[in-house]
Amino acid sequence: MRALQIAGTGMMAQQTNVEVISNNIANMSTTGFKRRRAEFQDLIYQNLRRVGSQSSETGSMLPAGAQIGLGVKTSAIYRIAEQGSLSQTSNSLDVAIKGSGFFQVQLPSGDTAYTRDGTFGLSPEGQIVTAEGYLVLPGITIPAAARDITINAAGEVLAKLDGQVNPQNVGQIQTAIFANEGGLEAMGDNLLLATPASGQAQLAAPGQPGHGQVLQGFIESSNVNVVQEITNLITAQRAYEMNSKVITTSDEMLSTLSRMR
């Protein structure tokens, strides 16, 4: 009975849907997190009567035919790149991107990762690093004698030193954009990796065409909408229940056949 297998694929699809929604809700307070959305496609069809086939020797043709679908599959889980709200922290090393772009982070392996999480700090050497201690590229060192740090909208890092009237420019943060942000691969710790699907990173100073500006003293909150996620969760739960009902009905039909004499 095909209905058992078809409903089984439906339950698996809704299970995936619930897992994606639960991950969104779990990360509703994660800095720079972008919510995900599961997409589905129907499976191949079995032709009982192929449309367009001749139904007689006179050349008459089937106008519709008969196809039975075999269920559903997960086609993709998209990352929604919608801007999250900006929360003020007043921390001089908290930086948010207003618009498109990612900060560059150097991993211990030497590879470059990308993130929207701008909760930065200083290493023992005075370099700007992430919460995990990874170097924020291009690698900016704050002088130990600096008593104030300013990061302007163009990403320039200015350190105020005693005895100097004008702040010292110690470097400039660059942001990366991609032709297909959805092609980036998540690796945890708020980090993403470039893939052939995302294309190569295009680097420029914040505020350049296609690149958002940076805001000091702000962080970008998760773009998860809790009301929408709860609504999606209820819809997925009802769809799961309906597929399970199909399995129960199919089982009852098979039980009826087995009791026939």
Residues in the chain, total:
261
- What would the mean pLDDT of 241-252 be, rounded to a whole number? 91
The rounded percent of the chain whose pLDDT value lies above 90 is 75
Domain segments of the chain: what residues?
2-81+224-258, 86-220
Q: Which two tokens stand for residue 254?
A: 């098979």
What sign for the dihedral angle of Cα 107, 112, 114, 118?
Answer: positive
What is the gyration radius of the CA atoms in the chain, in angstroms?
27
Is residue 261 predicted with pLDDT exceeding 70? no
- What would the mean pLDDT of 113-119 be, rounded to a whole number? 95
- What would the mean pLDDT of 222-233 be, rounded to a whole number? 95
More confident residue, 58 or 231: 231
Q: What is the pLDDT of residues 54-81, one digit of tens each?
A: 767 777 777 777 878 899 999 999 999 8
pTM of the shown model: 0.84
Q: Which residue(s) pair with 161 in the sheet?
A: 146
Closest CA to 104 of 170, 159, 171, 169: 171
- The pLDDT value recorded for residue 1 is 79
Q: What is the pLDDT of residues 133-161, one digit of tens each?
A: 999 999 999 998 888 899 999 999 999 88
Range scoring the smallest mean pLDDT among 2-16, 59-73, 113-127, 185-199: 59-73
Q: What is the pLDDT of residues 187-206, one digit of tens each?
A: 999 999 999 999 999 999 99
User: 160: which residues sit within 8 A by CB, 6+ positions away?
Assistant: 146, 147, 148, 149, 150, 167, 168
- What would the mean pLDDT of 2-17 be, rounded to a whole number? 93
Strand 156-161 to 86-88 pairing: unpaired
Give the chain's mean pLDDT.
91
